[in-house]
Amino acid sequence: EGPDRHGDAAVEEAKPRLKRPPMFKVMMLNDDYTPMDFVVEVLETFFRMDREQATRVMLTVHTRGKAVCGVYPQDIAETKAALVVDYAREHQHPLMCQVERA
Ligand code: NFA
């Protein structure tokens, strides 16, 4: 406690505020052209899924149109989505990801 504190006689301390960051989903979208095995490789590489998980998520995207690949703080979600799309473009595939508030 020093002389230049805010407030009155009462002792005030800042509360420890350890707010968890807002979370964002990386969604993968279906298309008609990207090969299934390429999508599985992407899910394994960028989202650290094993072959079984990656295959399940790929088939969910294929049949339902989109699925969640992972949930992260916003900067990580945006970076992962961009890395996946860049990697797909390098291989001439139209695979798309988008980021949504979780
Ligand atoms: N629909 C694609 C195909 O039939 C596979 C795919 C799955 C593409 C998931 C994008 C995402 N080759």
- Give this complex's ipTM: 0.99
Ligand 1 centre from 37 Cα, in Å? 9
Query: For the chain, how long is the longest CA-to-CA vector?
Result: 70
Is residue 36 lining ligand 1, measured as CB closer than 6 Å?
yes
Ligand 1 centre from 43 Cα, in Å? 12
CA pair distance 30, 33, nearest whole angstrom: 9
Residue with tokens 């979208």: 29
Which residue's CA is minimally distant from atom 7 of ligand 1? 62
Amino acid at 82: A
Q: How many residues does the chain have?
A: 102
* pLDDT per residue as tens digits for the range 26-77: 999 999 999 999 999 999 999 999 999 999 999 999 999 999 999 999 999 9
Ligand 1 centre from 7 Cα, in Å? 61
CA pair distance 72, 70, nearest whole angstrom: 7
Q: State pTM to two decimals.
A: 0.85
